[in-house]
Structures are given as C-alpha cells and as structure tokens.
Amino acid sequence: MTSIAQEKREEIIEILKREKESEIPDYLKSSLDHYICVLISSYLENSLRNIILDYAERKCSNQSICKFVNSSLGRMRNPNYQNIKDLLEKFDLKIKLENRQREAIESVYTNRNGIVHSESPKGLSLSMVKEYFETICRVIDIINQTFND
C-alpha cells in the first residue's frame, strides 16, 4: 500500500480513537462521522488504485501500458461493489465477498455521495463508521491478496 492510502488509514484510525475518547458535543459528532465516512471512501479508492497499479507494474514491462492503467484508474471515483467487481473482471480476477462486506461498500458509497451533495444521511454513527472502516479494511486485504496470488 502506498503512502496516500496508508496516510488515510492512519488518519481514520486516529480520528476514531480520539472521537471515542473525547467529550465532543453531539452536533459535532454527526459532522465528524460524516467526515470519517468520506475518508473511508477515499481510503478505498486510493487503496484500489495502488493495488492495481502495483499489479500492473509487476506484470508488464511496457511503461505505456502502465501509464494507460494509471490514467484509466484516475477516472475511478466512489467505487461501489459492482464497479469494483467489474474492474477486477477486466484483469480476469474475481473476489467473493460476504453480504456484510458488499453492504459496507455500498453504504460508504451511498453515504459519501449523500454527504457531498448536502443530503445528510440519517442515523450515521460512530459505531457504524467504525464497522464500515473495519469491514473495508478486510475487503482491501482480500483484494490485495487476490492481486498477489
């Protein structure tokens, strides 16, 4: 995992730890939970991009092909489960995820889009974003393993 994805992961871990330990007013906790959800989406995007670019660099010696893969991934935004599945199939790879893993991806995707378009998601909480983050971390590990087998 390259530095951007790792930095996002560490930032999320730090925020989750501090939010749990501090006396933050409820109206700010909601905004912080929204921010964490957007960070999780960014972490997923960056991790996918990094895993695939690392794979492309290992598999091909032609720099033009690596540049093409990089530019194609640059257009990948807000990955949902179907987009991730379709992307992996382009590499003849498949992943098998549990329902809760697919649901976490979809929830992060849907909530992130709602947040950035001023449609505040109802009921998003610290426990939910923490669960999403832990599940997304496992999904990233599965995808990373799939590209390294």
What residue spans define the domains of the chain? 3-148
Q: What is the pTM of this model?
A: 0.88
State the pLDDT at residue 75.
Answer: 63
Q: What is the 3-state secondary structure (H, E, C) of 69-93?
A: HHHHHHCCCCCCHHHHHHHHHCCCC
Q: State how far Cα 62 lies from the chain centre.
A: 28
Q: CA 76, CA 109: separation in Å to the nearest integer? A: 13
pLDDT band at 29 (very low <50, low <70, confident <90, very high): confident
Nearest to 43 by CA among 11, 10, 9, 73: 9
Is residue 21 a contact partner of residue 32, using CB atoms and an 8 Å limit? Answer: no
pLDDT band at 23 (very low <50, low <70, confident <90, very high): confident
123 or 35: which carries more pLDDT confidence? 35
